[in-house]
């Protein structure tokens, strides 16, 4: 696969803004482990090889188990995820593929039973960010693994 264009070079101001937006996630009240799951699940749904590759490596660096990584796409059937993680994954899926009728109250209430209002708000911004990154990297066919050295992902040992 050949990358179509380098959006970082073509739109440096917008890229910088996206990086600042994404880096603000570090201030999120959502724990890193859940953010990793969210990034991976949205990237799977959007078919973003670059982001999926990156976030699997980050999750591995953060200590995520291989089996849980394999189970993210089947999280509903898996016994490896706690209710709080399930709520975050459900929220990620509904916001990644918005239904015509919007987010059902039933799902919001399920999520609200596991996360505070601040956590739901922070999680929503995280889902927005990963979906934006997925869209730009899918559009321009960014090559998976091409930024490993720049992002310190080689230490994941998954090359």
Kindly list the domain boundaries of the chain, sorted by start residue: 29-154
The angle subtended at Cα 20 by Cα 66 and Cα 18, nearest 5°, is 80
pTM of the model: 0.93
pLDDT band with cut points at 50, 70 and 90 for residue 49:
very high
Q: Is 73 helix (H, G, I), strand (E, B) or coil?
A: helix
- Residues 111-155 pLDDT 10s: 999 999 999 999 999 999 999 999 999 999 999 988 888 888 888
The CATH number fitting domain 29-154, selected from 3.40.50.720, 1.20.120.1200, 3.40.250.10, 1.20.1290.10:
1.20.1290.10
- Residues 77-116 pLDDT 10s: 999 999 999 999 999 999 999 999 999 999 999 999 999 9
Q: Is 116 helix (H, G, I), strand (E, B) or coil?
A: coil
């Amino acid at each position: 696969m050949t990358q179509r264009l380098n959006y970082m070079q073509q739109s440096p101001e917008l890229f910088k803004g996206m990086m600042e937006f994404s880096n603000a996630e570090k201030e999120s009240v959502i724990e890193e482990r859940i953010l990793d799951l969210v990034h991976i699940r949205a990237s799977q749904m959007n078919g973003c090889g670059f982001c999926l590759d990156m976030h699997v490596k980050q999750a591995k660096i953060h200590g995520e188990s291989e089996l849980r990584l394999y189970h993210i796409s089947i999280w509903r059937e898996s016994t490896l995820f706690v209710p709080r993680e399930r709520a975050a994954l459900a929220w990620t899926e509904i916001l990644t593929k918005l239904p015509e009728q919007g987010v059902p109250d039933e799902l919001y209430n399920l999520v609200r039973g596991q996360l505070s209002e601040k956590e739901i708000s922070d999680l929503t911004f995280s889902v927005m960010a990963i979906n934006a990154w997925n869209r730009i990297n899918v559009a321009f066919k960014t090559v998976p693994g091409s930024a490993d050295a720049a992002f310190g992902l080689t230490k994941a040992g998954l090359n």
